[in-house]
A = this chain, B = another copy of it.
Amino acid sequence: MEKFEINILGCGAALPTPRRLSSSQVVNIREKLFMLDCAEGTQMALRRSRLSFSHLQAIFLTHLHGDHVFGLIGMLSTFGLLGRIQDLHIYGPLDLQRIFQPQIDYFCADSPYQIILHEIDTRIPQVLYEDRSVIVSTLPLAHRIPCCGYLFREKPTPRHIRRDMIDFYHIPVSQINNIKAGMDWTTSEGDIIPNDRLTTPPDPVCSYAYCTDTIPRPQLAELIHGVTCLYHEATFAQEHALLAKKTFHSTATQAGQIARDAQVGRLILGHFSSRYSSEDILLQEAQQIFPNTILAEDGMKIDLSSPSEPRIL
């Protein structure tokens, strides 16, 4: 299977601590990199991760709170100093241009590449990016300011040809793509050979939903149904449910409920309030509802294309 890897650069909430940065991740799909949020310190974490700066295709910002965007201008400036020439597309809610265009104009005036800002309506799900292998779309969330999550879905890949059967039935090369796409084969004698004798199933596809910051939204379960992996904010423990509601955040219990209702493969908790000396309380809460839950950690790599355990850099 092809690479589909989540790199967690930072998973803390508003206050960066010596233990963790605020929100930032890189999704690596077949060495194309997509960044999710960009907290202060992201460029240093990106360097430590040894991901290639130049493979970054696009940046998706959930919302314009500082702990999700304060690393943006520094990283964009560094890309310019390092000689990036490919365009870089940045997606984010309303105000993206008003806030960041003046900074880009001032601090990246000499950069040899174009930065294109795209303001999106966070209230409706929409496709933002598509290439041969992946589709990226938005997931409406509910926070204190306009906010959306992002959904990465690999496109289905063709079935695998069984070379021996192709040879046996003398199927011409011109028909291979049709066979891969699922067509049966009719021999010159009129016999129909069903496709599943000619092919083996395609690789399973991976999908990833990144949902932060938000109150729990039951509607979300439908949009992310069955994803391979869900990252959901769990800023608070259930004992702080009122505070979570007031600040438009989720508890770990609520994150577990969304994961269960959406029947996802795995849940990653993140966006931890710095008030907890250990996040084990959050893990235990979510696991009571959705057992296949892990805690995010700065430097963690999670390979969605294999059942291997997450690695920490």
Contact = CB atoms under 8 A, between A and B. Distances in A.
Copies of this chain held together in the complex: 2
Contacts of A64: 106
Interface residues of A, number: 28
Contact of A73 (B43, B44, B47, B66): B66
A291 interface: no
A44 B66 contact: no
A15 B70 contact: no
B40 A16 contact: no
Interface in A204-220: none
Interface stretch (A74-82, A120-128, A162-170, A275-283): A74-82
A98 to B, nearest CB: 8
A16 B41 CA distance: 10
Contacts of A77: 66, 70
Contacts of A107: 65-66, 70
Nearest to A105: B99
A44 B41 contact: yes
A17 interface: yes
A200 interface: no
Contacts of A71: 40
A109 to B, nearest CB: 11
Nearest to A72: B70
A99 B102 CA distance: 8
A14 interface: yes
A190 interface: no
A18 interface: yes
Given A18-B48, A40-B43, 6 more contacts: A16-B44, A18-B44, A40-B74, A64-B106, A66-B74, A99-B102
7 contacts: A14-B81, A15-B82, A17-B44, A17-B47, A66-B77, A70-B74, A102-B102
